[in-house]
Amino acid sequence: MKSRERVNLDFKNIKLLNYHIVKHFTYMIFFISILTLGMIYPFLKGDFDHLAIPISTIIQVFGLVGLSFVPIGILWMAIPKYRFGFAMAAIIVSFFITLILALFATLSVGKSFGIVILFIWIIIATLLLPQIKKLKITTGNKFDFFPLYLIGVPVITLILQLILAKPLTELSRNRTIENANRFIRDIEEFKTLRGAYPLTLQAQNKDYFPDVVGVEKYFYAPHRKGYNLYFEQPRFLLDRFGTREWVVFNPLDENSVYSHTSWLLPTEQEEAIQGWYASGNTGHKHWKYFFFD
């Protein structure tokens, strides 16, 4: 009887362990999916969203600075008897990570967004602290799932960032270029009817939409005998770190874009020096990209 009870108890323990494994991996997959969706949001088809790029950037920064959680998670799994100390270390590290995320939030949107990030951390830390206190009385080598989050979430977020950067950037750039075709046809029709390109197309309402969440609008500027039609392409954080990309159409292949307004005024500045450090063809006729640091 005792042997049968022991077998039943072991079976229940295995069943319970499997349940917790499935539950936590489901939680992790869900959490990573939410982070991934926020990260790629600016590159998807849709109306422009002012918060898309800031949110994506903050998630990408987390994937990078969140790697500081990994050593804690590994040590926690290797020496589980110090779980409480490792949990407190993770909370302390998370505070400094949050300060970095709040800084990026403030720089990209404003102080209010940075405060929101700090407030979210306070809520999460308040909810976690009672659970962490329970670890103080937990003894033995009981398997903890929390270290898996510390290791898996930032690592997978970073890996996805590196994998998705190039294809999603090209996909969104190509979509924005293709959606400019009607705008270009209307500009060319104007020239056919009037004999010259428009002097300006600045207006209160935009009637031509990039249809990419992270691209606000097309800009138009006359240039010599032609014109430049251009937009700013969203980029991933680690894809040429610190780079801003502008994509420019010019019917005469005299594509240009400037980093300073004063360079558009009569100065001694040579036009060849426009502020970009690299440029290239997009694969679309008359379209080029320019990289600014």
Q: What pLDDT digit, counting tens, does each position of 39-77 carry? A: 999 999 999 999 999 999 999 999 999 999 999 999 999
Measured in residues, the chain has a length of 293
Average pLDDT taken over every residue of the chain: 89
Q: Distance between CA 37 and CA 241 in Å, rounded?
A: 21
Query: Where is 76: in which H helix or E strand?
Result: helix 69-78
**Ranges of H-type helices in 179-218:** 181-194
Query: Quick check: 269 pLDDT over 60?
Result: no
Q: What percent of the chain has pLDDT over 70?
A: 90
For 21-37, the pLDDT digits (tens) are: 888 889 999 999 999 99
- Can you tell me the mean pLDDT for 260-276? 68
Q: Distance between CA 274 and CA 220 in Å, rounded?
A: 17
The per-residue pLDDT for 203 is 87
Find out whether 37 and 51 touch, Cβ atoms under 8 Å. no
Find out whether 175 and 44 touch, Cβ atoms under 8 Å. no
* This prediction's pTM: 0.86
Sequence-separated (6 or more) residues with CB below 8 Å from residue 96: none
**Ranges of H-type helices in 109-180:** 111-134, 146-178
Query: Quick check: 271 pLDDT over 60?
Result: no
Query: Where is 32: in which H helix or E strand?
Result: helix 2-40
